[in-house]
Amino acid sequence: MNEILQGLFSLSGELKEIKAHLHYLKKTRAEIFNESWIDGQDVLLALNISQRTLQTLRDSGTLPFSKLNGKFYYKVSDLEALLESNYSGNLKRQSYD
């Protein structure tokens, strides 16, 4: 009985994974492209930074970019990686004992 339940749970997980893959494949190339790249204005709004700060991130090589016809584009995954690399999840909290 336990083996049957484990088999059902495993099958359920595999079906969810297949469903996710099918959902991804159903998207058009344009939708996938729009999810992957954003322009500089969207980066400014998302990170709440100035144009100069964004330029500094580009110039220092901290944030990779693509330039097309004078407009900069950034991968969302690169922004996420930048934020993750600067994440300080282990902040020490001050104790007021």
Q: What is the pLDDT along the chain (97 residues), one digit of tens a residue?
A: 788 888 888 888 888 888 888 877 777 776 766 678 999 999 999 999 999 999 999 999 999 999 999 999 999 999 999 999 998 886 666 556 5
Give the Cα separation of 4 and 6 in Å (integer).
Answer: 5
Residue 46 belongs to some domain of the structure: yes
| pTM listed for this prediction | 0.60
- The predicted structure's pLDDT at residue 91: 64
- The predicted structure's pLDDT at residue 94: 59
Tokens of 82: 């930048």
- The predicted structure's pLDDT at residue 92: 63
Residue 96 belongs to some domain of the structure: no
Find out whether 73 and 33 touch, Cβ atoms under 8 Å. no
Residue 33 belongs to some domain of the structure: yes
Query: How many domains are there within the chain?
Result: 1
CA distances from 43 to 33, 39, 48, 60, 77 (A): 16, 7, 8, 16, 12
Reported as type and span, the H/E element at residue 37 is strand 37-39
Q: Show the domain range for 57.
A: 2-85
